Structure 1
């Protein structure tokens, strides 16, 4: 059975965000699981000014491929590098590559599409 949806449904109102009003019912990002299996997880993430808490790093066992669809964000990595993301920008983050979200747009929803998957690139490099 086919499942249809729209990645831009149920977004916080930018006018409310710009006026300093409540972005979402809580201060947390919104996570919608779009697909899931033993080997992958596909999520839509909606941020409204959130960032990773100070001194915290994401250290994930799965690889992550994420594309920014709307808004903007800045990521930083444990090696000191930083990357500003705008709509259409994507990044692949290797397993255990420590990273954090420094900022997301506070005046409009930032919409991400994130794919978390088991990285087998080192298991069988020849593809056989």
Structure 2
């Protein structure tokens, strides 16, 4: 498998694909193209999330302090469990490929 292969030509919705899933870790590929978290919705996860932007760009907004982090290709971020956040922007003219690792 290759993270950069099998990219749909059209992405009307984000694509979430589990690569590995065990009782203690889940690794997921996410494909976005201009997608954001709906206004007023916040991710509030029971597990920690380490996320890497493989291709494209994105911004993640944190609810507590309204801090927004801009991620470009190769940038990664660790989000502690229950730190409420949302995707506020992804590149609209090309896909953003994420690799997300969820862990306890």
Q: Scaled by the length of structure 1, what TM-score is found?
A: 0.78
Query: Following TM superposition, by how much is the alpha carbon of 1:70 offset from its aligned partner in structure 2, in angstroms?
Result: 0.4
- TM-aligned CA deviation for residue 83 of structure 1: 0.6
2:54 paired with 1:66: no
Aligned residue in 2 for 1:28 = 13
Which of 4, 8, 19 is the matching residue for 1:8?
4
Deviations 1:71-99 (A, max 9, x none): 10011001211111000100000000000
Other-structure match for 1:98: 84
1:28 Cα offset (Å): 1.5
SS at match of 2:69: strand
Larger gyration radius, structure 1 or structure 2? 1
Gaps of 5+ in 2: none
More contact order relative to length (CA 8 Å, sep ≥ 6)? 2
Corresponding residue for residue 42 of structure 1: 27
Q: How many residues end up aligned between the 2 structures?
A: 103
- Cα RMSD after superposing both structures: 0.9
Q: Does the CA-based 8 Å contact 1:52-1:102 persist in structure 2?
A: yes
1:75 and 2:60 matched: yes
Tell me if structure 2 keeps the 8 A contact 1:12–1:109. no
CA distance in 1, matches of 2:16, 2:41: 19
Task: Could you tell me which runs of 5 or more consecutive residues in structure 1 were left unpaired when the two chains were aligned.
Answer: 14-22, 119-128
